[in-house]
Amino acid sequence: MTITLQEQDEVLLLAEARRRGTDPAQFATAALRAGLAALATLPAPHDTAASESASEVDSDDLAWWNQLTPEEQEAERTALRRGLADINAGRTKPAEEVYARIRATYAHLQPAAAEAA
Amino acid sequence: MNNDEGSSPTPYSIRYADSADAEIEAAYGWIVSHDFAAAERWLAGLHTALLQRAGDHAALPGRRYVAPDAANFPGRDLRVLRYQTHGGSIWRVLYELRDDDNDGNLDTLLVAYVRSASRPSPNNPAASDAE
Q: Quick one: three-class SS letters along A29-48? A: HHHHHHHHHHHHCCCCCCCH
Quick one: pLDDT at residue B63? Answer: 79
The amino acid present at B67, given as its one-letter code, is A
Rounded-to-integer distance, Cα A94 and Cα A102, Å: 13
Rounded-to-integer distance, Cα B41 and Cα B35, Å: 10
Binned average pLDDT, 10 residues per bin, chain A of 117 residues: 45 53 59 43 43 70 93 94 97 98 93 68
Asked if B68 and A65 count as a contact pair (C-beta separation under 8 A), the reply is yes
Contact B19 A93 (CB under 8 A): no
Q: Quick one: three-class SS letters along B68-128? A: HHHHHCCCCCEEEEEEECCCCCEEEEEEEEECCCCCCCCCEEEEEEEEECCCCCCCCCCHH
Rounded-to-integer distance, Cα B6 and Cα A114, Å: 28
Contact B94 A77 (CB under 8 A): no
Contact A61 B80 (CB under 8 A): yes
B115–chain A nearest CA distance, Å? 9
A1–chain B nearest CA distance, Å? 29
Model-wide pTM > 0.90:
no
Quick one: pLDDT at residue B62? Answer: 81
Enclosing H/E stretch for B17: strand B13-17
- Residue B34 C-beta-side C-alpha neighbours within 13 Å: 16
Chain B neighbors of A58, CB-CB under 8 A = 65-68, 79-80, 82
Chain A neighbors of B72, CB-CB under 8 A = 47, 49, 77
Mean pLDDT for chain A? 71
- Residue B50 contacts A where some CB pair is shorter than 8 Å: yes
Contact A83 B1 (CB under 8 A): no
Nearest residue to B10 via CA among B40, B48, B66 = B48
Quick one: pLDDT at residue B8? Answer: 46
Taking one residue from A and the other from B, the number of pairs with CB-CB distance under 8 angstroms is 131
Q: What pLDDT, in 10s, does the model give residues B45-84?
A: 999 999 999 988 888 888 789 999 898 999 998 999 999 9
Report residue B118's pLDDT band, with 50, 70 and 90 as the boundaries. confident
The amino acid present at A76, given as its one-letter code, is E
The residues facing A57 across adjacent strands are B66
Three-state DSSP class for residue B13: strand
Calculate mean pLDDT across residues B82-110. 91
Chain B neighbors of A100, CB-CB under 8 A = 1
